[in-house]
Amino acid sequence: MVLSSCGLSKVVNLLRCSFDMDGITDITWAGVNLSNISSVSDLSINDLKSAAAAIKARDFHVGCNVKVNVKNSTPRDAKMIAYDYELLIDDASVATGSTDNQSFIIRPNTTTPIKVPIAIDLVKIFKNQEGELNSLVKFARNLKDYGNGDPSNVKIKFSPKFNVGKNVQKFPPFVLSKTVGNKE
């Protein structure tokens, strides 16, 4: 009974936590970190070789991390055992996923950053609606401050999972959003 009460307390505390999206980091393709690349001249010979090999293999999987901050303002621990996510750019869904192998303890009166690894399959986006591709291209420009006054609205639907006894349950998704790009 005490263990159940303790576990339930952590779930209730998780419900009381606040969630927000802090940013997008570590954008990679073909093993190349694109986060600090402003032009082709910023790429090394090895980066160009990796990109050429990826193009030859038709590998157009882009990865990034979305940083979600979980703030626990309660005096007790909160626990999340996993999460599901959906990433949307200008309301176009570009990636979904989940993790079931990592739990998080959010300590009292702290903010815990969670890096949500995102995998985007550009080939899938190219095959789908033109709007998704346009949203992704605009988003990429805005990440590098090339935005032309038309900012991208990035949302992540983040659904924390928790245990009730031996059953895994999940909260309805928290919709976290961030505007990327210039508003001029």
**DSSP per-residue letters across 42-78:** GS-HHHHHHHHHHHHTT--EEEEEEEEEEEE-SSS-E
pLDDT of residue 105: 93
| pLDDT bucket at 3, cuts 50 / 70 / 90 | very low
Of the chain, the percentage scoring pLDDT greater than 90 comes to 38
**152 contacts 135 by C-beta, under 8 angstroms:** yes
pLDDT digits (tens, 9 = 90+) for 112-134: 999 999 998 877 776 665 555 56
pLDDT of residue 116: 95
Largest CA distance in the chain: 63
**78 contacts 106 by C-beta, under 8 angstroms:** yes
Average pLDDT over residues 5-34: 84
pLDDT of residue 94: 85
pLDDT digits (tens, 9 = 90+) for 129-168: 555 556 666 666 555 554 455 677 889 999 999 888 788 8
Residues paired with residue 120 on neighbouring β-strands, in sequence order: 62
Q: How many residues does the chain have?
A: 184
pLDDT of residue 142: 56
**DSSP per-residue letters across 72-96:** E-SSS-EEE-EEEEEEEETTEEEEE
Hey, what are 115's tokens? 């890096």
